[in-house]
Amino acid sequence: MEITSDTHSQHISKQFNHELEELKTHLMAMGGLVEKQVQDAIEALLEGDSRLAERVRDNDKVVNDMQIKIDEECTRVLARRQPAASDLRLVLAVIRATSDLERIGDEASKIARNALSLVEAGRSPRGFVEVRHISEHVRKMVRDALTAFARFDTQLALSVVREDESVDSEYTTAMRSLMTFMMEDPRSISSILSVMWILRALERIGDHADNLAEYVIYLVKGLDIRHTDPDQLDDEAIQGKS
């Protein structure tokens, strides 16, 4: 009797662990797609490739569907398994993460739409250097945040949080130069505005990567560091001997 019950609970816990692993796997798949969307949107812009831009725009549906599917999975796990402690934090972190990934997907699709109007206008406006530079930066942030999530790596997560500040300052500088270009050449206002929207989208993607990184710290350490100034973070407490 004792043995049967043990075997039974071992079976349940094995099944449960499997479900949690599946959640992570699906989140990573969604993350991979979203990363690719950002990369393709920027490539479409820089290469003037309107077909690629259209594909990014249309693929946004796939990202959205993934969010709904993963969220349903999370709800099922919560209802059936009633997880506690770190398992509960994992499920909640996944729910929060799908929301940020979905918004990164939205931003990629906005970039693609602005790329399309730039290609149609046949202009190669100023600001592409800045776009390329910042896009590489935020793509690295997204990639690192996802890796940190997959590996429960709080040190990598913290580096993403700190990275976000430098993206913000690059963004401010780039916006200032674009405004100068506009004033110098008012005929370019409309195309430079499109580039500004693209930069703004990239800056938002950086913010979402920052959020993803914060969830990693939450799920590993149980600390909610959203809204904490990165300079105020206590590295030892976060990275500690976990």
Residue closer to a second copy, measured from CB, 46 or 92: 92
Please state the closest distance from residue 66 (CB atom) to a second copy, in A: 10
Residue closer to a second copy, measured from CB, 7 or 13: 13
Residue closer to a second copy, measured from CB, 51 or 227: 227
Please state the closest distance from residue 2 (CB atom) to a second copy, in A: 26
Residue closer to a second copy, measured from CB, 72 or 235: 72
Residue closer to a second copy, measured from CB, 154 or 188: 188
Please state the closest distance from residue 1 (CB atom) to a second copy, in A: 25
Side-chain-side CA neighbours of residue 133 (13 Å)? 12
For residue 169, give the 3-state DSSP assignment: helix
Residues in contact with a second copy by the rule CB under 8 A: 61, 64-65, 67-68, 71-72, 75, 78-79, 82, 84-85, 88-89, 92, 95-96, 99, 179, 182-183, 186-187, 189-190, 193, 200, 224, 226-227
Please state the closest distance from residue 76 (CB atom) to a second copy, in A: 10
The label of the residue with tokens 């200032």 reads 176
Q: How far is CA 129 from CA 46, 84, 116, 199, 210, in A?
A: 9, 48, 18, 11, 23
Please state the closest distance from residue 95 (CB atom) to a second copy, in A: 7
Burial class for 127, CB neighbours closer than 10 Å (0-12, 13-18, 19+): buried
Closest to 114 measured CA to CA, from 67, 21, 48: 48
Please state the closest distance from residue 124 (CB atom) to a second copy, in A: 20
In angstroms, rounded to a whole number, what is the distance separating the alpha carbons of residues 147 and 213? Answer: 10
CA angle 108, 109, 111 (to 5 degrees): 65
Residue closer to a second copy, measured from CB, 217 or 241: 217
In angstroms, rounded to a whole number, what is the distance separating the alpha carbons of residues 43 and 37? Answer: 10
